[in-house]
Structure 1
Amino acid sequence: MFVGRDRELTALNRRWSSAQFECVVVYGRRRVGKTTLINQFLADRPTIFFSAIESNISRNLEALSHSIAMYTSSGTADPDPARSLDTAPIYRNFDSALEAVFALAHEQRMAFVIDEYPYLAKADRSINSILQHAIDRHKDDSRLMLILCGSSMSFMERQVLGYESPLYGRRTAQIKVEPFGYVDVRKFLPKYGNEDAAIAYGITDGIPQYLRQIDDGASIRDNIRWNIIDPDCYLFEEPDNLLKQELRNPAEYNAIIQAIASGASRLNTIATACHMETSTCSTYLRNLIDLGIIRKETPFAEDSPRKTVYRIEDSFFRFWYRYVPTNMSLIQSGHAELATDRIMRTINDFMGQVFEDICMQWLWARNDTSDLPFLILDAGRWWGASPRTRSQEEIDIVARGEELRTLLFCECKWRSIPIGMKQLDTLRSRSELLHPSHSHYMLFSKTGFDKQITEHAAQDSTVTLVDFATMG
């Protein structure tokens, strides 16, 4: 089942329709569905699909030669064109292979996909320059749509999209494939209601490969028990496997994520918890940010380095590191049922940050509609010290538009009782810490609102109430 990706497919189809040379860079973290997207787009279109392998240049050149041979033999009368691959010529270098591909696209519109492009670049460090020269020679008279796809975020952003890359200026489009949002997860798991779909979104981070492990014919509890914390299931060792696949020194990265999951958020605190130098820890954090696992934040509308905090961006990692290490003894001793019961008792606490993400998605999706008081240009989380209470205060979401001091303040509550006036009064009090000229308030609630605040909102145009039941 193919779900969502309408924006990405529209962008790819627009490039295909140009009928001229196109170079599209498709990138995103592992398991996010890049190859599935490309295959969906290219269904029934003439394509040479080459998936680079983590090996030497000779093996990659052999694989590319076979991909070209498979394409050229597919139009023959041979009912089994693949059997001729054993005798297909191996190109002597990538220059000659690329010349052959561009020649095939001289008269006919066709696509050439290089999947896992960073593996190819690692095998031959000159491939960026070779590709650049081939593009420069043929782009004006070629009908080729070249798609470079890769999972190494830092490589794709610096070595392919970056200013110093030989390929800089040759791409005609770039598509960063993100995890699914809550609305698309609803489509992926159609048997689930709103609440179960939201929890499924939270425990998978909207990653398609992880969502495929979720059975929406079973309860959330059973999915956690059998598809996340069972020692034999795919997702149980996924964080460890991903760190080993992407990073050197995975044990050090594991320690950093565990420290943040346990409450450390400042660089010095994280480094101390992991017994590291701050400079080393900073480098490791930057790599985790590149992978989309960690997020670096400052309070909304502020850019003070001393207020910088680090949070776990990937909610699957957030779930796993919150629950699996503390329950590991139970799980490994055959008491996974007891561990599941412990997890379910605090799942609403875990969902607090997930619900904030869902509410942020809702705001951007409803932007420039009557659901919002103004067009939002920027939004984020805010925290800071209150001189009145002499304590740290937080606002889940602050958003602004063209008028810088006209702000929207949002409170997001994932709990089992309705929201009342107390939450609105608290939000109003906290909003004063940002000294707005005009304020609007929006409260999001999993379980609705009591009569008093509902009647108040009906009379106060600055207050909007959003029931989770209406959000998806």
Structure 2
Amino acid sequence: MEEIIGRAEELQLLADIKKTPAAELVAVYGRRRVGKTYLIRSFFENELLFEISGLHNASLQEQLENFKDCLSQTVPKHKKKPAIPETWLQAFQQLIRVLQPQIARRKKVIFFDEFPWLDSPRSGFMPAFENFWNSWASRQKNLVVIICGSAASWMIRKIVNNRGGLHNRLTRQIRLLPFSLAETEQFFRAQAIKLDRYQVLQLYMAMGGVPQYLKQVKRGESAIQAIDRICFTKDSYLTNEFSNLYRSLFDNAQHHISIVKALAGKPSGLTRNAIIHTLRLSSGGGITQTLDELTESGFIKSYIPFGKTVKNSIYKLTDEYSLFYLKFIAPNKRPGKGTWIKLFNTASWKSWSGYAFEGICQKHLEQLKAALGISGIHTQESIWRATAPGATRQGAQIDLVIDRNDRCINIFEMKFAASTLVIPRSYRASLLNKQALFIETTGTKKTVFLGFMTTFGVKNAADYAGLIQHQFTMDVLFNAAVALL
């Protein structure tokens, strides 16, 4: 088996599948380039009997010809090769005839990659697949059927929440997320790429934990050099990935892209009504479905403000590559090589990097909870904003509130800096106001702890011992013991 970086929970689940004495129907979904196909092929390299990958925007005839070619590779050399089936019902009957003798004695896997693309309009694919599973495959104790798709929203709607022939038929499901910071660090080590954590963090801020993006980094490059080459040089790997990414996942992707662009322009987030107003959209069901699809695919996330209800949810763009693309790549496509070396450390980058760091901290919440020693305590995470209560006081915003079940609340300041942070005396009044305003406006009776999450720590934290109860460096985000949210 090829080396698989991270993915501890997924590997345990797949290992259980190998041992189960019954048929398995497994759904694997997650965004493009995240490593779904690699995970299945690598883990089941000795059990994989049949594999087909759907063709994007292909006709029924083209899909069936592709099926015939894939099935021909499974048929023993001395057997007659199958003809092109006329329908998907015929195709699955051919598959059964080929599989039947080969799964008699040992566990075998059949793998449908890019499953949503096989279900072309009026093709009859889904009824045929449902019939294949319900009438035959579900009774084969040595058969594992894995269906995989990058269109996460389609997979959720049509497979996980299926109300037809596959209702409650799934035996397992895996939502594969991008690498955490710990897995990203592990990935670079496996590639013999030597980078310290600050460099890894910079790369993560630009392209997230998407394995295929990270694979473009070369040995001996700094983060700045790698980002410049991968994102800004002529025909570079990530220059045109943005439009390809969304259009490969969603029908009518322009609606999804418009929402992503609106959220990129408002790092603090927008409510559903604010998105509708900003884009001048209809308030019908279409916007709800688009937001759900972006959420399920991992590009955006909704946060309920502290003390509010779900109708007050704020949506934020959480995909690092999309944020970086819209802020820096899209406006700077022409300058070419050396662009990022010039942009790096500008005021614009420093402002943006603060928001990017906040987003990464929010994604690595379990790592932060572990550092606080509260992994076993039930918590609710939110954000909080308050307008100025009077002319003499300032408003405030907290981007991470951890409401704990042990009658405590953690509120965090998150600061990205190239060196150890020094808190000026003038900042003390702002921190006191923020904490007091939070307690005052929320009416909480819980103990409120103020903490700092920074790259290299707070140099003069001892001067604020009565105010700052916790301070952590980026190192806690690299904790490999817990999963990414």
TM-score, normalised to structure 2, is 0.82
Alignment CA distance shift 1:199-1:216 (3 Å)? farther
Structure-2 residue corresponding to 1:298: 304
Alignment partner of 2:173: what SS? strand
Kept after mapping to 1: 8 A contact 2:369/2:375: no
Counterpart residue identity of residue 296, structure 1? S
Consecutive aligned runs of 4 or more in structure 1 exceeding 6 Å deviation? none
CA distance in 1, matches of 2:85, 2:388: 68
Alpha-carbon distance, 1:313 to partner:
1.9
Kept after mapping to 1: 8 A contact 2:367/2:476: no
Alignment partner of 2:120: what SS? helix
Alignment CA distance shift 1:365-1:323 (3 Å)? same
Counterpart residue identity of residue 183, structure 1? A
Alpha-carbon distance, 1:3 to partner:
1.8
Counterpart residue identity of residue 142, structure 1? K
Alignment CA distance shift 1:249-1:471 (3 Å)? closer
Counterpart residue identity of residue 470, structure 2? T
Alignment partner of 2:13: what SS? helix
CA distance in 2, matches of 1:370, 1:295: 24
1:429 equivalent to 2:427? Answer no
Kept after mapping to 2: 8 A contact 1:102/1:144: no
Alpha-carbon distance, 1:16 to partner:
1.5
Alignment CA distance shift 1:229-1:281 (3 Å)? farther
Structure-2 residue corresponding to 1:197: 200
Alpha-carbon distance, 1:316 to partner:
0.7
| Map 1:51-62 → 2, pairs under 5 A | 51-54=53-56, 55-62=58-65
1:454 equivalent to 2:472? Answer no
Alignment CA distance shift 1:387-1:106 (3 Å)? farther
Alignment partner of 1:146: what SS? strand
1:228 equivalent to 2:236? Answer no
1:425-472 C-alpha deviation (Å, 9 max, x unpaired): 355334414324222333212231234x23664x89x82221224543
CA distance in 1, matches of 2:306, 2:41: 39
Counterpart residue identity of residue 74, structure 2? Y
Kept after mapping to 2: 8 A contact 1:367/1:376: no
Of 218, 222, 225, the match for 1:219: 222
CA distance in 2, matches of 1:214, 1:121: 36
Alpha-carbon distance, 1:179 to partner:
0.9
CA distance in 2, matches of 1:284, 1:135: 30
Of 320, 325, 330, the match for 1:315: 320
- Alignment root-mean-square deviation, CA: 3.2
Alpha-carbon distance, 1:270 to partner:
4.3
1:439 equivalent to 2:448? Answer yes
Alignment CA distance shift 1:262-1:362 (3 Å)? closer
Larger RCO: 1 or 2 (CA < 8 Å, sep 6+)? 2
Structure-2 residue corresponding to 1:81: none
Alignment CA distance shift 1:465-1:16 (3 Å)? same
1:169 equivalent to 2:168? Answer yes
CA distance in 2, matches of 1:222, 1:402: 45
Counterpart residue identity of residue 240, structure 1? S
CA distance in 1, matches of 2:431, 2:277: 39
Gaps of 5+ in 2: 479-485
Counterpart residue identity of residue 314, structure 1? D
Alignment CA distance shift 1:440-1:144 (3 Å)? same
Kept after mapping to 2: 8 A contact 1:98/1:134: no
Structure-1 residue corresponding to 2:52: 50
CA distance in 2, matches of 1:390, 1:304: 29
Counterpart residue identity of residue 215, structure 2? R
Structure-2 residue corresponding to 1:467: 473
Counterpart residue identity of residue 179, structure 1? P
Counterpart residue identity of residue 453, structure 2? F
TM-score, normalised to structure 1, is 0.84
Structure-2 residue corresponding to 1:96: 93
Kept after mapping to 2: 8 A contact 1:132/1:170: no
Alpha-carbon distance, 1:148 to partner:
0.6
Counterpart residue identity of residue 96, structure 1? Q
Kept after mapping to 2: 8 A contact 1:19/1:109: no
Kept after mapping to 2: 8 A contact 1:257/1:312: yes
CA distance in 2, matches of 1:39, 1:419: 49
Alignment CA distance shift 1:448-1:151 (3 Å)? same
Moved more, 371-380 or 104-113: 371-380
Moved more, 354-363 or 307-316: 354-363
Kept after mapping to 2: 8 A contact 1:105/1:143: yes
Moved more, 173-182 or 389-398: 389-398
CA distance in 2, matches of 1:299, 1:185: 30
1:189-238 C-alpha deviation (Å, 9 max, x unpaired): 33111111011111112111111222352122222222102231120011
Structure-1 residue corresponding to 2:483: none
Structure-2 residue corresponding to 1:127: 125
